[in-house]
Amino acid sequence: MKKIINKRFNLPVIVTFLIGIVFGIIFLFFISEVDKLIIKSEIEEYLNLVGNSQDSINSILISFKNNLLYLTIIWVCSISIIFTPIIFFVIFYKGFLTGFLMSSFIMIFGIKGFIYSLIFTFPHEIINIIVFILFSIIMVSISYKIMKSIYKNDTINLRIFCKKVFILYVSFILILLLSSILEIYLNHFILGIFF
């Protein structure tokens, strides 16, 4: 793993995510009252979805499908090399969503919203953030390594290289599946205690 990760990409990926969070928080101040009502209804629908234990399998699948989409976009963009910059847009967007949703909880529900936002982030969203940041750093590093080998005419054992990348991808998929299960079951339990 250490051979794959190029530390020069740690800071750009993390900073991109943090800028996304800041933009997500700021964006909330520029939307209309009608949009705020729509956001409120969407958040309440999410809380009902998490609180509804009868439909937990469907909720897990929806959560997992969304996470898998982001992971796959990052994976495909890095392998195609020329689309590697899109990874930074994906990370920015994930940060934007995190900042926007957390500030939306607080704006709509006040103090109770702060507790909702903590429940929203712990532990599944923190796991997701770590997975997406780490996977992005790895995939940007891999893309850089491929470009460097093409530019310098170095040879790479493509079969072993692709196998390692695929194993990483599958490993992160399994972590995201666990995260989706935690999101529904653990959050349902916590919501049952507090609300």
Residues 19-72 have pLDDT tens digits of 999 999 999 888 888 888 888 888 777 666 655 555 678 878 888 999 999 999
Rounded CA separation 182/193 (Å): 16
Residues near 1 by beta carbon (within 8 Å), at least 6 away in sequence? 138
Residue 4 DSSP one-character state: T
Peptide bond into 12 cis (omega under 30): no
Residues 118-171 have pLDDT tens digits of 877 788 889 999 999 999 999 998 888 888 888 887 777 777 778 888 899 999
Average the pLDDT over each of 80-89, 101-110, 131-140 and give the range with the smallest value.
Answer: 101-110
Nearest to 144 by CA among 133, 130, 156: 156
Indicate the domain borders of the chain. Answer: 7-34+57-194
Rounded CA separation 26/103 (Å): 9
Nearest to 67 by CA among 115, 130, 7, 112: 130
